Amino acid sequence: MEWETVIGLEVHTQLATQSKIFSGASTHFGAEPNTQACTIDLGMPGVLPVLNAEAVKLAVKFGLSINAEVPSRSVFARKNYFYPDLPKGYQISQFELPIVSTGHLDIMLEDGSKKRIGVTRAHLEEDAGKSLHEELKGASCVDLNRAGTPLLEIVSEPDMRSIEEAIAYLKTLHQLVRYIGISDANMQEGSFRCDVNISLRPKGEEKLGTRAEIKNMNSFRFIERALAFEIDRQAEILENGGTVHQETRQYDADKDITRPMRSKEEAHDYRYFPDPDLLPVEVTKDFIENVRKSLPELPWEKRERFKKEYQLSDYDANFLATQIQTADYFEAAIKSAGGASPKIVANWVAGEVSAGLNKVEKDFTDCPVSADALGQLLARVADSTISNNIAKQVFEAMWKGEGSADEIIEKKGLKQITDTGAIESMVDEVIAANPQQLEQYRAGKDKLFGYFVGQVMKATKGKANPEQVNALLKKKLGN
């Protein structure tokens, strides 16, 4: 039978606030264990939570970016369960009334088609601490630095039908939260992690199959592999007439399999009820409008604008708009690029600059060649001071910190030769020095034209204006 895959995703993204969602302790990553946990994070008797307004703002910002409804009132609820890294014995989360209600995210698939994925809701909650079982033999340790870190849990509709769609959704979401600055979404540090709900059903069937939930994954590659494994596993069960159990599973990256979590860990009745320590969150129209004003141009808006405003291809526009830093770099470079076309600037940003950064594992915000400096270099190509090839040489020197484009061109004498007389005598010399090639060329071996160009460029150390060389050679060789 042919099976259809149905995937829904729950993403936890850590919000980029300075302090925790209900206390003043720092959220900075990587501190010594338990040095960033105050009495409130420790769940001391008598302490009370106070909501961090910044977390609300960031959540609303997300809501607006996915065209979601932001209800005027949302409510924090307690999710009750015991675990050593959950200090109060309950997690403050949102249940019936989340801060963000239905919205959507459009994803782009490899074949260029678009698909709209529904977002059911996004709600605010506090993270738990971490249990460490490796440090001491026979004992477990608890680090509560992470306890109380603000999270936004973004729940999708079961709208994805393939691994590709799931990954595209995750990548689009990952890009979005970074773009609008609500999260650093650092996956290694766990700032962007994902639970996957996946089920199969016979193709054409409306009713959803029984799903399995795979918990807590923080790498696109692992998610992809876990899904692949799970699709095979469920298909095999169903093909053999079995039934899939609704259960929580975890992905084991070493063995590349998913396996059920111990049933004890999932057999929870969370006994949600509104947290009486916190008032309902009231979000006014003014507040929403102010947040809306702080929204940057969104990735898909930028992509469309780049295509229209700069006549870029889909590929270029996509590349440049993927990260806000790249996009900003590109547009800053255009400003000082004089007569160079946006297309040329795009080629350089996507080519030389990006390759250089990849090599040294840096990003556009700390690029050794500033956007402005790159623009100046490309302006020199556009006004024919140097050729494109010489520009690459200059760029390398700039990368090494040898100065601005103009300084390097001057210092190294790289200015292009545009004196027709000088080029002409060089052309004459080259033709005279290669009688054999001249003969072959005239006998019809057109390819040799390039050879002559090369010889002239070599003689001028690349500084001759290539267009002039071409024109003169054509004239002299008599085509």
Partner 1 sequence: MHDKTLAELSAALHGKTISSVELTQHYLDRIKKYDNDINAFITVTEEHALKQAADADKAIASGKAGPLTGIPIAEKDIFCTQGIKTSCGSKMLDNFIAPYNATVSENFNQNGLVLLGKTNMDEFAMGSSNETSYYGPVKNPWDLARIPGGSSGGSAAAVAARLAPATTGTDTGGSIRQPAALTGITGLKPTYGRVSRYGMIAFASSLDQGGPMTQTAEDAAMLLQYMAGHDPKDSTSIDKEVPDYSATLNDNIQGLKIGLPEEYFQGGLDADVEKTVQAAIKTFESLGATMVSIKLPHTDLATSAYYVIAPAECSSNLARYDGIRFGHRCENPKDLEDLYKRSRSEGFGEEVKRRILIGTYALSSGYYDAYYIKAQRVRRLIRDDFKAAFQNVDVILTPVTPTPAFKLGEKTTDPISMYLSDIFTIATNLAGLPGISIPAGFSSSQLPIGVQLIGDLFAESKILNVAHQYQKVTDWHRQSPTQFNGGE
Distance in Å, CB of 183 to partner 1, minimum = 25
The whole-angstrom separation of Cα 214 and Cα 210 is: 13
Contacts by residues 253-256 (CB-CB < 8 Å, ≥ 24 positions apart):
253/222, 253/225, 256/225, 256/229
- DSSP lists the bridge partners of residue 260 as 249
The whole-angstrom separation of Cα 258 and Cα 243 is: 17
- Kindly tell me which of 142 and 390 has the beta carbon lying closer to partner 1: 142
Distance in Å, CB of 336 to partner 1, minimum = 49
Distance in Å, CB of 130 to partner 1, minimum = 14
462 close to 416: Cβ distance less than 8 angstroms: no
Residue list 144-173, contact with partner 1 (CB under 8 A) = none
How many CB atoms sit inside 10 A of residue 323's CB?
A: 17
- Kindly tell me which of 280 and 454 has the beta carbon lying closer to partner 1: 280
Distance in Å, CB of 263 to partner 1, minimum = 14
Residue list 42-71, contact with partner 1 (CB under 8 A) = 42-51
Distance in Å, CB of 92 to partner 1, minimum = 11
Distance in Å, CB of 266 to partner 1, minimum = 14
- Kindly tell me which of 39 and 365 has the beta carbon lying closer to partner 1: 39
- Kindly tell me which of 241 and 276 has the beta carbon lying closer to partner 1: 276
Residue 139 in the binding site for partner 1 (CB under 8 A): no
Draw the binding track, 72-111, toward partner 1 (x: CB under 8 A; -: no contact): ------x-x-x-x--xxxx---------------------
Using CB under 8 A as the binding criterion, the count of chain residues that bind partner 1 stands at 29
Residue list 248-307, contact with partner 1 (CB under 8 A) = 269, 271-273, 276-279
Q: How far is CA 228 from CA 144, 197, 209, 214, 231, in A?
A: 35, 13, 17, 12, 5
The whole-angstrom separation of Cα 173 and Cα 445 is: 56
- Kindly tell me which of 83 and 315 has the beta carbon lying closer to partner 1: 83
Q: Which of 102, 150, 105, 107 is nearest to 122 (CA)?
A: 102
Distance in Å, CB of 392 to partner 1, minimum = 60
Question: Residue holding tokens 């799970």?
Answer: 230
- Kindly tell me which of 273 and 315 has the beta carbon lying closer to partner 1: 273
Draw the binding track, 315-354, toward partner 1 (x: CB under 8 A; -: no contact): ----------------------------------------
- Residue among 18, 35, 39, 420 that touches partner 1 (CB under 8 A): 39
- Kindly tell me which of 279 and 433 has the beta carbon lying closer to partner 1: 279
Distance in Å, CB of 137 to partner 1, minimum = 15
Distance in Å, CB of 90 to partner 1, minimum = 5
Distance in Å, CB of 59 to partner 1, minimum = 17
Distance in Å, CB of 150 to partner 1, minimum = 16
**Residues interacting with partner 1, by CB under 8 A?**
39, 42-51, 78, 80, 82, 84, 87-90, 140, 142, 269, 271-273, 276-279
